[in-house]
Amino acid sequence: MKKLRPTSLQWQLVRKLILLQAATLFAFVGLIWFVLFLLEPRLLSDNETAVEAVAGAVSRDVSGNLILRDTDDMRAARQNYPNLWLVVRDQAGKTLQQGNVPDAYNDGHVGLPWALDYAFLRFPMHDLRPDAILANRPTDAGRVQILTSTILSRMETNGVDVTFQLSLDGTRDASGQIDWMKIGPTVALIIVAFLAPFFIVMGGTTLVVTPTVVRRALAGLVATARQAGRIDIDNRGVQLPTANVPTEIEPMVQAFNNALSRLGQGYDQRNRFLTDAAHELRTPIAILRTRAELLREDPESGRLLKDIERLSHLAQQLLDRQVLDQSAGAREVVDLVEFARHLAADFAPLALAAGYDFSFEPAASSVLVNIQPSQIQQAVTNLLRNAIDHGGGEGIVSVVVDAKGGLEIHDEGPGIPDDEHERVFQPFYRLRPRNSGAGLGLNLAREIARLHGGGVEILVGPWRGARIRLQLPLWQSTTPGAKPDAARQVG
């Protein structure tokens, strides 16, 4: 299977934005073309062409009268515009007319002043008389005024005449030069007004579409970031995919994956070391216990046996703590009431021997939880040991199961101060330094509960002693009304 090549975030954005701008321009041009197509326009360039042709052909005869030479441009103009008519006059009043001059222009100059350089002559919309152009041009006959048009009536047009013309004139000083300091702001305003629609359309389109383009371009990176957010100590072996990550980000993702691998390897090496150390400790501890039991019975040997027992318990808890990350068997659907009942029966003799009364308070009906039984048994065992060891040797030790998946251990000892509720869950933290405990029981119970999606907390209330609650998630069937094939009965 061919490996997907990561795409460049930069070029994705550049390419898509360029395509967006191009599409907008095409749409803009297409809209203009569509409007012009509906109006069927004819660009009004014919009359200007005729003016230039006439200006190049005007001359004088030997008598000084105005004549029109038969130049190439004039022949082309007459061929292209059969209805061409013209009126030429000089400053002395001499006039030349050719073609069928409309009645509206029969007087030749229609009263227009000689100083007029260029003008479009137009009539109201309802008037059918033709538009014309008046131009003052230098020719071989001197400067003349040319009045011309290529049509005799507006009825000859097939659509709308559109004129594109840009003229700039402004305040002039005494020498005739334009005063740009005065007209500059106005010119700038005109330019802005001319360009503003284009930039508004382009800018608006970009602002609306760009966020979507960028969001889609970054979708792979966002998905990778979400996957990174789900990595924790329990699934540290996960590697972030790079298939949908931009090339600019890929080195960082690869470095992150390499860092995860190194951290995972270091974590595994540390766990193996601690596990091996705990295993190695068990052998000399067993030898010490055997030899201590052979000693003659006296107070010192009894204290020695207690110390060896404490050391053995610590080694076992260290071992238990390290194997939590390893699979300890499949989970099973268990009736928490029966599960706790058997554990209570196992610990009742120990509690009674330590001077306590013991009680078990089950829920009214079965409470099904999906657990790894040996791990939960270990957690409950630690909580019960804590209650027996730290309950003061009097009162009642109780095991309570409720319908919400909670299992509580109650004692009537000195309790745990409110400000110590979080610290007692830290590894090797002991509420009373002289205590014989190792400081791992509550920490181990909380870690086991966390791995099951539950938790351990110390309840606060007016009662005497400590109440610790182990909360486990209830079993949820994917099929409404379904029941497990067989809820495990712990015996």
C-alpha dihedral sign at 179, 182, 188, 191: negative
Residue 4: the pLDDT is: 59
Q: Among 147-151, 334-338, 348-352, where is mean pLDDT lowest? A: 147-151
> CA 467 to CA 487: how far, in whole Å?
28
Q: Please give the structure tokens belonging to residue 459.
A: 């309840």
Segment 38-64 shows an average pLDDT of 80
| pLDDT single digits (tens) 380-403 | 988 998 898 888 888 999 999 999
Q: Among 233-247, 252-266, 322-336, 427-441, where is mean pLDDT lowest? A: 427-441
Give the SS3 label for residue 474.
Answer: strand
> CA 76 to CA 169: how far, in whole Å?
33
Q: Where are the beta strands (DSSP E) in 345-483?
A: 357-361, 368-371, 396-401, 406-410, 455-458, 467-471
Q: Where are the beta strands (DSSP E) in 411-466?
A: 455-458
Residue 352: the pLDDT is: 92
CB 43 within 8 Å of CB 162: yes
355 vs 436: which has the higher pLDDT: 355
Q: Quick one: which of 307, 472, 300 has its CA closest to 383?
A: 472
Q: Quick one: which of 89, 32, 80, 83 has its CA closest to 58?
A: 89
Other CB atoms within a 10 A radius of the CB of residue 42 amount to 13
User: Could you give the domains of the chain?
Assistant: 42-158 (3.30.450), 228-326 (1.10.287), 329-471 (3.30.565.10)
Q: What are the φ/ψ torsions at residue 44 (nearest 5 degrees)?
A: -85, 75
Q: Quick one: which of 373, 344, 357 has its CA closest to 487?
A: 373
C-alpha dihedral sign at 153, 154, 157, 163: positive
| pLDDT single digits (tens) 414-458 | 888 888 888 888 876 776 655 555 567 788 888 888 888 899 999
| pLDDT single digits (tens) 100-118 | 888 777 765 456 777 788 8
Residue 491: the pLDDT is: 43
> CA 48 to CA 38: how far, in whole Å?
25
| pLDDT single digits (tens) 256-306 | 888 888 877 777 776 666 665 665 566 666 666 676 666 667 777 667 766
Residue 260: the pLDDT is: 80
24 vs 341: which has the higher pLDDT: 341
Q: How far is CA 210 from CA 14, 174, 248, 456, in A?
A: 11, 54, 20, 49
pLDDT averaged over every residue in the chain: 77
Q: What are the φ/ψ torsions at residue 222 (nearest 5 degrees)?
A: -65, -40
Residue 168: the pLDDT is: 59
Percent of the chain with pLDDT over 70: 68
Q: Among 161-170, 227-236, 294-303, 352-361, where is mean pLDDT lowest? A: 161-170
Question: Which residues are CB-neighbours of 404 under 8 A, at least 6 positions away?
Answer: 367, 471, 474
Task: Concatenate the DSSP letters of all residues of 267-286 into one string.
Answer: HHHHHHHHHHHHHHHHHHHH
| pLDDT single digits (tens) 216-226 | 777 777 788 78
Task: Concatenate the DSSP letters of all residues of 220-265 into one string.
Answer: HHHHHHHHHHT--GGGTT-----TTS-TTTHHHHHHHHHHHHHHHH
Alpha helices in 402-465 (DSSP H): 441-451
- Read off the pTM: 0.45
